[in-house]
């Protein structure tokens, strides 16, 4: 039977199947992402309990009740509204230098912005209430987003370090619309709506949260900083996992481009643990140089995951290195 030649349609079909397979593999990167994802509700709830305690010390339930009474009684009074972002501060110290360039610590108000909205800013160094960051929402609701047509929860990772472009904007906007992150009532789906309603409080004052910075203790402040760091670590875990898959897919596509025949592509898939047949590929429905042996390429791709080394592995590698160095010295003597 004549060998079936590869064409672009077959290559794309096999590449798509391989991407799904790689994303389902039990790897270090995926386990870390899954573990941190499972912790997100708890860490948000714990941080919210701290924020709520801080706010209610300043704006008591009695204050809120009175504010609502006045607002409902007088048409020209608008003094209370629900909000999910806050400026908290405590009296601490910051480092300065005197005229002789010596370091000295001086009293200072330490203030940061903390945003509990689904697309709230997670940068611990940012202090602007207008900042938004959808990366956290995309990581948290990845499966739900990717189940929708014309949505891609990994788009920010796939487009990392690239200039803004129509392809990126299309998927970012579609993702945000599906989650309800635009602020419009029309696209306020259950994810964005339920999340933001869960994490909001009645606050007295003007609309800008910077205008109502609320005092807290240093311990409370540091707890909330750790909360932002934990959210950032989850986003990073999503990024590292997807980047690992993308690196493997880059090698796979190079191999597929170079293969002439379908059986070569199927051999590669088999070596990577994906069982497919030529009949599956042909049902769904170029030539090039064969630049990678399928088995060797499979081993190269496998080496791109599970890159974190245990303490024991690092020690073993160090021992092996020292032994090799000693052999080199002995050979010189």
> Domain total for the chain?
1
Candidates 25, 5, 113; CA nearest to 298 is 25
In a domain, 116, yes or no: no
Is the pLDDT at 294 greater than 70? The verdict is no
SS3 202: strand
pLDDT band at 77 (very low <50, low <70, confident <90, very high): confident
> How does DSSP assign 99-162, residue by residue?
TT--EEEEEEEEEEEEE-STTB---TT---TT-B--HHHHHHTHHHHHTSTT--TTHHHHTTTP
Is the pLDDT at 132 greater than 80? The verdict is no
In a domain, 275, yes or no: yes
Residue 254 near residue 4, CB atoms below 8 Å: no
Residue 8's contacts (CB-CB under 8 Å, 6 or more residues apart) are 286
The predicted model gives 2-8 an average pLDDT of: 91
Measure the CA–CA gap between 235 and 134, rounded to whole angstroms: 10
By DSSP bridging, strand 85-97 and strand 214-215 are parallel
Determine what percent of the chain is predicted with pLDDT higher than 70.
80
Q: What is the dihedral of CA 173, 117, 110, 205, to 10 degrees?
A: 110
- Parent domain of 267: 8-28+243-332
Q: What is the per-residue pLDDT for 49?
A: 97
Determine what percent of the chain is predicted with pLDDT higher than 90.
60
Give the chain's mean pLDDT. 85
What the block records as the tokens of 293 is 């042996």
In tens, the pLDDT along 299-327 reads 667 767 776 766 666 556 655 655 554 55
Measure the CA–CA gap between 159 and 163, rounded to whole angstroms: 8
Measure the CA–CA gap between 17 and 51, rounded to whole angstroms: 45
The predicted model gives 92-109 an average pLDDT of: 88
Candidates 204, 218, 195, 223; CA nearest to 114 is 223
Residue 90's contacts (CB-CB under 8 Å, 6 or more residues apart) are 109, 110, 215, 216, 217, 218, 220, 221
Element (H, E) at 96: strand 85-97
Is the pLDDT at 287 greater than 80? The verdict is no
In a domain, 175, yes or no: no
Q: Which residues of 112-124 are buried (b: 16+ CB within 10 A; e: fewer)?
A: bbbbbbbbbbbeb
Is the pLDDT at 249 greater than 60? The verdict is yes
**Bridge partners, 206 (sequence order):** none
Is the pLDDT at 257 greater than 70? The verdict is yes
SS3 196: helix
Q: What is the per-residue pLDDT for 291?
A: 36
Phi, psi angle pair for 90, to nearest 5°: -140, 160
Residue 291's contacts (CB-CB under 8 Å, 6 or more residues apart) are 254, 255, 258
Question: Mean pLDDT lowest for which of 85-89, 206-210, 285-289, 323-327?
Answer: 285-289
Is the pLDDT at 3 greater than 60? The verdict is yes
Measure the CA–CA gap between 260 and 262, rounded to whole angstroms: 7
pLDDT band at 80 (very low <50, low <70, confident <90, very high): confident
In a domain, 311, yes or no: yes
Q: What is the per-residue pLDDT for 100?
A: 83
In tens, the pLDDT along 175-187 reads 999 999 875 555 5
**The Cα angle at residue 147 between residues 145 and 153, in degrees rounded to 5:** 30
In a domain, 300, yes or no: yes
Is the pLDDT at 286 greater than 50? The verdict is no
Q: What is the per-residue pLDDT for 314?
A: 58
Candidates 175, 182, 141, 155; CA nearest to 40 is 141
In a domain, 81, yes or no: no
In a domain, 293, yes or no: yes
Distances (CA, A) of 232 to 26, 127, 171, 304: 23, 16, 22, 23
Residue 292's contacts (CB-CB under 8 Å, 6 or more residues apart) are 251, 254, 255, 258, 300
Measure the CA–CA gap between 207 and 57, rounded to whole angstroms: 20
In a domain, 285, yes or no: yes
Q: What is the per-residue pLDDT for 88?
A: 95
């Amino acid at each position: 039977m004549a060998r079936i030649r590869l064409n672009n349609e077959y290559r794309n079909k096999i590449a798509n199947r391989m991407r799904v397979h790689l994303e389902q593999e039990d790897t270090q990167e995926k386990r870390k992402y899954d573990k941190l994802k499972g912790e997100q509700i708890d860490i948000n709830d714990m941080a919210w309990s701290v924020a709520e305690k801080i706010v209610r010390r300043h704006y008591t339930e009695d204050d809120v009740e009175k504010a609502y009474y006045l607002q409902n009684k007088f048409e020209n009074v608008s003094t209370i509204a629900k909000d999910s972002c806050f400026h908290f501060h405590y009296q601490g110290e910051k480092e300065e230098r005197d005229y002789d360039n010596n370091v000295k610590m001086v009293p200072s108000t330490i203030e940061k912005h903390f945003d509990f909205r689904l697309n709230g800013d997670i940068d611990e160094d940012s202090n602007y209430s207008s900042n938004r960051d959808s990366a956290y929402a995309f990581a948290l609701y990845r499966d739900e987003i990717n189940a929708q047509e014309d949505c891609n929860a990994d788009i920010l990772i796939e487009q990392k370090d690239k200039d803004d472009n129509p392809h990126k904007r299309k998927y970012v906007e579609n993702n945000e619309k599906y989650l309800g992150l635009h602020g419009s009532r029309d696209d306020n789906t259950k994810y964005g709506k339920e999340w933001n309603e869960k994490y909001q409080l009645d606050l007295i004052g003007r609309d800008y949260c910077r205008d109502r910075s609320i005092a807290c203790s240093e311990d409370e402040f540091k707890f909330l900083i750790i909360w932002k760091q934990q959210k950032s670590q989850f986003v990073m875990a999503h990024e590292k996992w997807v980047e690992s898959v993308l690196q493997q897919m880059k090698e796979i596509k190079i191999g597929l481009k170079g293969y002439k025949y379908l059986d070569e592509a199927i051999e590669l898939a088999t070596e990577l643990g994906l069982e497919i047949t030529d009949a599956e590929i042909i049902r769904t429905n170029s030539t090039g140089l064969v630049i990678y042996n399928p088995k060797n390429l499979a081993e190269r791709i496998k080496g791109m995951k599970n890159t974190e080394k245990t303490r024991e592995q690092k020690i073993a590698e160090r021992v092996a290195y020292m032994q090799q160095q000693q052999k080199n010295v002995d050979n010189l003597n």
